[in-house]
Amino acid sequence: MPIRQFQAQRMHAPREFKTISQSPICVEIGAGKGKHALLFSGQHPQYHLIAIERTREKFLAMQKQHAIEGQPNLTPVHADALPWVVHALYPQQVQHFFILYPNPEPHNPAQRWLNMPFFEFLISRLQTGGTITLASNIPSYIDEAEEQLKTVWKLPFERQVIAQDSARTHFEVKYLERGELCQQLVMTKPEGYTTRFDAFQPLQGQNATQAASADQTEA
């Protein structure tokens, strides 16, 4: 399906937004209660992971567990991922993105990750050689995403079956215990890959008002 261009400059900063440094990071989108975030940061001290969760109850659960475990290389963030990414991340800053068991949006296919114009912006934040991991228990979701990778985004990828003993998220544990097939697409950004947002710098909150004013003037 055709993808229109994402209007990054129209994104308002999340409430209580805080800027981040330009150093390399990993980002998990929709981190839930933080099971994967806590595991990953504990197992990979060489990476700094920012785990974003929009739902307040889930975010507080992740924050509470992080306070107990105390991984210094994990930063939980309570925000909607799209405006946070636009305001916070620099071009080619992210080493790995994780999108594990997102809402399949059964009634709104345009909101699935690889169908959204925002996905081009997400790729622009990824380092050359960096990866995006998208996991789902719904075969048709993975099938559609694979088709989009081939025809629209043209990213190299591997389609993998997730091991029965994997336990990265609460959803993953539940689905595998029920005997469902869980799969993931691991996409890699190749050398020379370009997007229309490669020069787009993060809005960083303080520019949100200016961007909104500019949109109104243009309108």
Domains annotated for the chain, with CATH where assigned, are 23-218 (3.40.50.150)
pLDDT, mean of residues 23-32: 97
The rounded percent of the chain whose pLDDT value lies above 70 is 92
Q: What angle do CA 32, 38, 44 make, to 5 degrees?
A: 135
Antiparallel, parallel or unpaired: β 49-53 and 126-136: unpaired
Whether the predicted pLDDT of 56 surpasses 50: yes
Q: Which residue has the higher pLDDT, 217 or 68?
A: 68
Each residue of 160-192: b (16+ CB within 10 Å) or e? eebeeeeebbebbeebbeeeeebbbbebebeee
Q: Which residues contact 11 (CB under 8 A, 6 or more apart)?
A: 82, 83, 86, 87, 203, 208, 211
Residue 3's pLDDT band, with cuts at 50, 70 and 90, is: confident
DSSP notation for 64-96: HHHHHH--TTEEEEES-HHHHHHHHPPTT-EEE
* Residues 6+ positions from 139 with CB-CB distance below 8 Å: 181, 183
Distance CA 2, CA 160 (A): 26
pLDDT at 10: 86
Query: Would you say residue 155 has pLDDT above 90?
Result: yes
Per the listing, tokens 């636009």 go with 86
- Beta bridge partners, 184, equal 135, 160
